């Protein structure tokens, strides 16, 4: 099978009623996603509490992450963060009227290099 080149910014719809989450690669202990937000946020009162670590790179746009301890993190293009398993967090805000494009890598912290 010959590898095919793709572009992370291709095929983004002009209007996205709900946050767009696409699996780019899925393996036993690894998942890589492209996430596109247009003013979307985690619903009020909901928190992500994942059994795996998440490494997120903001490729385009702006966002604010909130953590259960009350802290927030402003993110802009090229910022990245590793969120350890079971650290409760949420997307508080993404830039309205523009594409906020994330690359999210989910992995088990027990994985060895």
40 has a pLDDT exceeding 60: yes
pLDDT digits (tens, 9 = 90+) for 24-35: 999 999 999 999
- pLDDT of 109 reads 76
Average pLDDT over residues 92-112: 90
Fold category of 20-107 in CATH: Jelly Rolls (2.60.120)
pTM of the model: 0.91
Instruction: Quote the percentage of the chain above a pLDDT of 90.
Output: 94
Give the Å distances, CA to CA, from 2 to 6, 32, 63, 95.
13, 20, 36, 37
Average pLDDT over residues 74-84: 98
pLDDT digits (tens, 9 = 90+) for 11-24: 999 999 999 999 99
Give the pLDDT band of residue 112 (cuts 50, 70, 90).
low
């Amino acid at each position: 099978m010959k590898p095919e080149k793709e572009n992370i910014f291709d095929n983004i719809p002009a209007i996205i009623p709900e946050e767009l989450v696409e699996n780019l690669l899925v393996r036993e202990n690894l998942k890589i996603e492209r996430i596109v937000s247009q003013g979307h946020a985690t619903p009020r009162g909901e928190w992500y509490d994942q059994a795996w670590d998440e490494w997120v790179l903001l490729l385009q746009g702006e966002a604010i992450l909130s953590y259960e301890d009350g802290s927030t993190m402003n993110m802009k293009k090229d910022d990245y963060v590793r969120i350890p398993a079971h650290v409760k967090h949420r997307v508080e805000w993404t830039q309205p009227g523009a594409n906020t494009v994330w690359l999210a890598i989910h992995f088990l912290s027990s994985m060895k290099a």
